[in-house]
Amino acid sequence: MRGRRKLIDTAIANIHLAPEDVVFDVGAGDASLSSVVAARTGGRLLTTDLDERACLSAHGCGVPVVRSDVRHLPVAEGRSALTVAFEIIEHFPSWEAPVVVDELARVTRPDGRLLLSTPNRLSLESVRGLVNYLRHGTPWTARDETHRTIYTRAAVKRLLRPRFQVERIYGYWLVPDFRGKLSRWTPVVTAQPLLVGWCFLLLVVARRRP
């Protein structure tokens, strides 16, 4: 969690919102990460999740939450100044992901920001997954069997391009753990293009096109 918070702090360092601006977290879970986003940027947090227990958890922490599907968000067009979508798009088949992106764009105001994260298909972690597949026949799912589509950095850009202008991509978790042990290079947060491409997690900062 410390590494994820460092990643988020790095990505939103130059984003400053007014107190009335909405930070809308889609698929928020217990809102622990988006609460950091709202606190750092100065906006007010609104969250949604399809899972009832996640909604109850966020509500228990005092976070405004509504239960909904990411493909049909109960928020007015352009309501969000900063839309957060952490580890969502990989849960949809590739043909449905553009629908999700369109909905994220609909609720984001023109020139507003999107903060989106997803696992990286070409990470060092995926190389280890390929080795396991060749040895044991187990497909690599980026540590979650509910993942449907794992994207490369270039594929994420293509997916977002019709509705968002990608400003920066950050990488996190560079070197995989070995037998449960982390190296000092594992929790690296980087914006260096050559290193980002090898990180397990991609974090995209994008601006909604007018």
Complete DSSP assignment for 175-194: SPPBTTB--TTTT-EE--HH
Where along the chain do its domains lie? Answer: 2-208
Q: What pLDDT shows up at residue 150?
A: 97
Q: What pLDDT shows up at residue 192?
A: 95
Among residues 175, 178, 158, 177, which one has the least CA distance to residue 166? 158
Q: What pLDDT shows up at residue 179?
A: 78
The mean predicted confidence, pLDDT, of the chain is 95
Is 1 a residue whose pLDDT tops 80?
no
pLDDT digits (tens, 9 = 90+) for 25-42: 999 999 999 999 999 999
Q: What is the pTM of this model?
A: 0.95
Q: How confident is the model at residue 115 (pLDDT cuts 50, 70, 90)?
A: very high
**Mean pLDDT of the 120-147 span:** 92
- Does domain 2-208 sit in CATH 3.40.50.920? no
Q: What pLDDT shows up at residue 82?
A: 98
Q: What pLDDT shows up at residue 154?
A: 97
pLDDT digits (tens, 9 = 90+) for 6-27: 999 999 999 999 999 999 999 9
Cα–Cα distance measured from residue 189 to residue 147, given in angstroms and rounded to the nearest whole number: 23
**Mean pLDDT of the 116-127 span:** 96
Phi, psi of 53 (to 5 degrees): -65, -35
User: CA separation (Å) from 149 to 87, 93, 107, 119, 177?
Assistant: 11, 6, 23, 9, 23
